[in-house]
Amino acid sequence: MLKETSYLDWNDSIRILNKAYEADLFVLIIGPKGTGKTSLVRDFAENKNMKLESINFSLRTRESHLIGTKTLTDGTVNFEEGLLIKSMKEGSMLYLDEINAAEADVLLRLDEALDDRRQIILKESTGETVKAKEGWFVIATINPLTHSGTKELPPQLLSRFPVRISLEYPSENVELEIVKRHVSGNHDSEIIQAIKLANILRQAAAVEELFYSPSLRETIAFGKLLEKGMSSKESAKIVFGNVYTQWGNIEYQKVSDIITSMFGN
Ligand SMILES: Nc1ncnc2c1ncn2[C@@H]1O[C@H](COP(=O)(O)OP(=O)(O)O)[C@@H](O)[C@H]1O
Ligand SMILES: [Mg+2]
Q: In which band, very low, low, confident or very high, does the pLDDT at 1 lie, cut at 50, 70 and 90?
A: very low
Q: Is the pLDDT of residue 53 over 60?
A: yes
Residue whose Cα lies nearest atom 25 of ligand 1: it is 217
- Counting ligand 1 atoms within 8 A of each CB, the residue from 6, 11, 39 with the most, and so the one to mutate, is 39
pLDDT of 114-128, one tens digit each? 998 999 999 878 889
Residue of 59 and 200 predicted with greater confidence: 200
Q: Is the pLDDT of residue 2 over 70?
A: no
> Span 52-78, mean pLDDT?
90
Run of H or E residues at 139: strand 137-142
Q: In which band, very low, low, confident or very high, does the pLDDT at 88 lie, cut at 50, 70 and 90?
A: very high
pLDDT of 162-205, one tens digit each? 999 999 999 999 999 999 999 998 999 999 999 999 999 999 99
Burial 2-19 (b: 16+ CB within 10 A, else e): eeeeebbeebebeebbee
Q: What is the dihedral of CA 53, 54, 57, 60, to 10 degrees?
A: -70
Residue 20: the pLDDT is 98
- Counting ligand 1 atoms within 8 A of each CB, the residue from 44, 47, 57, 216 with the most, and so the one to mutate, is 216
> Which residue from 160, 114, 109, 107 is spatially nearest to 136, judged by alpha carbons?
114
Q: Is 231 in the pocket of ligand 1 (CB under 6 A)?
A: no
Ligand number, closest to the Cα atom of 166: 1
Ligand number, closest to the Cα atom of 40: 1
Q: Is 7 in the pocket of ligand 1 (CB under 6 A)?
A: yes
Q: Is 179 in the pocket of ligand 1 (CB under 6 A)?
A: no
Residue 123: the pLDDT is 85
Residue 125: the pLDDT is 80
User: Mapping DSSP to helix (H, G, I), strand (E, B) and coil, where does residue 23 land?
Assistant: coil
Residue 147: the pLDDT is 60
Residue 150: the pLDDT is 67
> Span 228-255, mean pLDDT?
97
Written in H, E and C, the secondary structure of 80-124 is EECHHHHHHHHCCEEEEECHHHCCHHHHHHHHHHHCCCCEEECCC
Q: Does residue 57 contact residue 16 with C-beta atoms inside 8 Å?
A: no
Burial 153-182 (b: 16+ CB within 10 A, else e): beeebbebbebebebebbeeeebbebbbee
User: Mapping DSSP to helix (H, G, I), strand (E, B) and coil, where does residue 72 land?
Assistant: strand
Distance 73 CA to ligand 1 centre (A): 41
Q: What angle (nearest 5°) sits at the alpha carbon of residue 182, between those of residues 176 and 186?
A: 60
Please tell me the distance from the alpha carbon of residue 211 to that of residue 233, in angstroms, as a whole number.
Answer: 22
Q: What are the C-alpha distances in Å from 125 to residues 90, 104, 118, 138, 243?
A: 19, 22, 19, 24, 47
Mean pLDDT, rounded, of the chain = 93
Most confident of 70-74, 151-155, 240-244: 240-244
Percent of the chain at pLDDT exceeding 70? 96
pLDDT of 4-37, one tens digit each? 668 999 999 999 999 999 999 999 999 999 999 9
